[in-house]
Structure 1
Amino acid sequence: MSSLPPAHASAEPLVAANGGQYPSLVDRAVLITGGATGIGESLVAHFAQQGARVGFVDIADAAAADLLGRLGEVRHTPVYAHCDLTDIDALRHAVDTLRASLGPISVLVNNAANDVRHAVDTVTSTSWDAGIAVNLKHQFFAAQAVIGDMKQLGGGSIINFGSISWKLKQGGMPVYTTSKAAVQGLTRSLARDFGPFNVRVNTIVPGWVMTDKQIRLWVDATSKDEIARGQCINRDLMPADIACMALFLAADDSRMCTAQDFVVDGGWV
């Protein structure tokens, strides 16, 4: 059995020490959803360190302020907007607000989600709709809100976030796994519709990432054994591992990659 991870994943540096540099990201306007904590905070930090103009939305105001205070010196200080993504009018308003600060959005990273556990017999019509809203619906409407910018710019990159959970037939959260399976269908349909405008749409499919939330709520000795058996590389999957893939997909280096799933899971699926 591998040892348990540290009590808080935030001990990990915000930016991977061995990360690559992507000159095409300098001054590019990047919108990140759910950017205050977990994978999101790593995304914000990595894009900011590339010299991008980063805007991010979340409902965790204190965590967003803390992140901005820890970033250090960057070319452009990221801009934060409070937004409940399940309110589509609020999402559209937040995009307009960030656009006013950043300029036309060139990269959208649809990271926000909530993988709260829930049993089948506890799901109601209301909780089903709420789960779809927080894990799937906003990804479409965020893309809809920025596609005009990308057409104006002559291209762009949309990065949706899926999950290996449904591929593993994981139980105990059916609304979440249904949403994450649907994300990959959304990616492929938008890739076809947006391709004529040189807009690429891809899915990052993370494995079990060792964020503070995961460690606090669900990672224990049993789950660590499960990870050790499942992953080909028996090391902790960290937020920076996901952020580094997002940098590649946002940059011109991946200019012919679209409608694809990029799995970052240590070889589990």
Structure 2
Amino acid sequence: MTWAQTLVLGAVQGLTEFLPISSSGHLRIVSEVWFGDDAGASFTAVTQLGTEAAVLLYFFRDIVSIVVAWFRGLFDASRRDLDYRIGWYVIFATIPIGILGIVFKDVIRTGARNLWVIATMLIVFALVIAVAERVGAKQRPLEQLTLRDGLVMGAAQCLSLIPGVSRSGATSSAGLFLGLQREAAVRFSFLLAIPAVLASGLFSLPDAFTPSGEGLQASGVQLLVATVVAFVLGYASIAWLLRFVSAHSLNWFVGYRIAVGVLVLGLLAGGVINAT
């Protein structure tokens, strides 16, 4: 991997991780279209540590409140407030993706990165987001979040194992289907992603530093730089998205997803780029 590729892919990761457009799908598309090769699932997972560091910093007070409330609530039932419940919701909702991520590790790193799959998922899930925006009541605030909501959004998060779906798109859409306010669904989506992405990134570190020889190979320094770039742009992306969804529909991303998906399908059909 060249330094130009490192900087471009780090920027793509930071800009797209929190938008409902699939960062893993965009990394795969950009690395193929611009560089004629795949950056790899391990590179994607490791650079996601940068964007998750941005989440930890942006939601630092919320995370501390949840962790403190969770420990207090374990020993004092009278202090089991919303933060305590959210702590449990995140724990239980993370279990499905943890199991499936381990079981389907090889498929995620190989067949699921096929550009035919990614382009199709960009289009299909754009329609899911559009339907969620249309039928979702968007009336329930975060204070009304339940364990059932958390589990449903946790199950939806499993779909993000398929590049092209989008973690935030899947979980936020599930929240809208459940009647949550748009900002509440997106905020819980960010919190829900923290343990899954951190675990995935740390789990992928050995593979990233000892690549198999296929695709683009980044050095340790390049991985670090790409992760820092992803952190900086990821932080800005979080702040922008939370302001955006407070006043705008997720449908703004639907048209973009469909356009990119159709473009990639056209490039594949014309033999301009390779699917694998």
**TM-score, normalisation: structure 2:** 0.31
Q: Which one has a larger percent helix, Structure 1 or Structure 2?
A: 2
**TM-score, normalisation: structure 1:** 0.32
Higher RCO structure (Cα 8 Å, ≥6 apart): 2
